Structure 1
């Protein structure tokens, strides 16, 4: 009688999860997952990025956990890979306030983003609006619709383009499209000689107040060392020291000090007497300029 060899079922992979509030958080507005998402990265960085991309939100993505999960790389290699992924625009670390507690989350984007995108996301928790193309903006569409409500206020294409920045500011301050149109069409005089001029005056005089700025509950952290800072001071998600700028800035100063010391030594040699009763002792190594 033949025997059937049973293969034990492989349990489904369950990634380690971080404490509530910590861990990975997927950035919004990412492109669909494709085979070559990380082909532009070196092999190590692509491997780490692909692993993080597969993890669910809330998964632990600290250096120690990732090093345990990725058999090919140790902690130092993982730390360097995360630093390079930050430079490439795939992740940032934000320190966020949840209630009275501050937590650190790693925000990951399959689609590489520039600093301006991450800075907008940090402040608003949403992806920035797409760059303007040949399509009409919401502000332009609102201005173009004014003539359908009040034919006397019909604006030309050129006038809509000129007034678009003002209308955009209205919308940015919380006004709706309907409120903007109402401000331009309500209480009109019997004759409107210049719709563009009247619209400009109304958009300027009736501009809504700025929205109050809410206290920020998120700040950026350096991906490499964790020091908090304004996003403008952390290009690529890294502080100046981790970018290596402080070391480069210190080099000229040290070189100047060495040159000055060498000049003093040469001057001392030129003024030293030709004969000495005893040889001068060598200076201790600790006294040398390094």
Structure 2
């Protein structure tokens, strides 16, 4: 298995598995395609790793077969630059696989709309959302959470409830109902700047003096003095979403835009510089090989 976030990735729009999925391919490609199809999601897809697991073929044969499978529309190799919440950039390498052969237009559309999430948050995205705390507003509301009334608390806002929470965390800041109502507008400014209840309570209860003679005046002063700055995260960093994915040439590894590598091959590998088609009449040209593979896909 590859590191989390790397390796094999299945694509959508595939027909159900059938015994003759790869029957139109040559024997070697058919064998390796069937092997890759049975690998689990996230499996290592490097030529070296595959050759170690396939007894019939060495690295060179596996590399040639992977190129043929890319031309036939079964796979694309992709690299993605991930930007996490701290602005750190790193590369993730994936091989997208499909038992159903797709043409270049389909691959370009799929990879062009690809959204990549940092591997460390993938499991969080898939996990069920935890139950909200009593002071939180319902997630489905269309208005800002800090202004949504909680019906179980008599219609009180999150700001009011957070102020009431202060006395439960530390009795030195116990506020009355009238105090919470009076301070509510000041507290709402905090939630309008994106803080949550936990941050609000921790900040206001941190570093208290030994005794607080007037909790109302003390909290009112702190609400003004410790008001957090306005913060809006950069859009490109939200949720670990990255720059557009780049397709790697399956032959040489050169990256390029998703629509610039038809068949998963760069121009240099599709049309080698200085190649003489008459130099070896017995050997098929690269262009002829690609055309033959396309014909096999159309006839399947």
TM-score by length of 1: 0.48
**Larger Rg computed on CA atoms:** 1
Q: Which has the higher contact order (CA 8 A, sep 6+)?
A: 2
TM-score by length of 2: 0.47
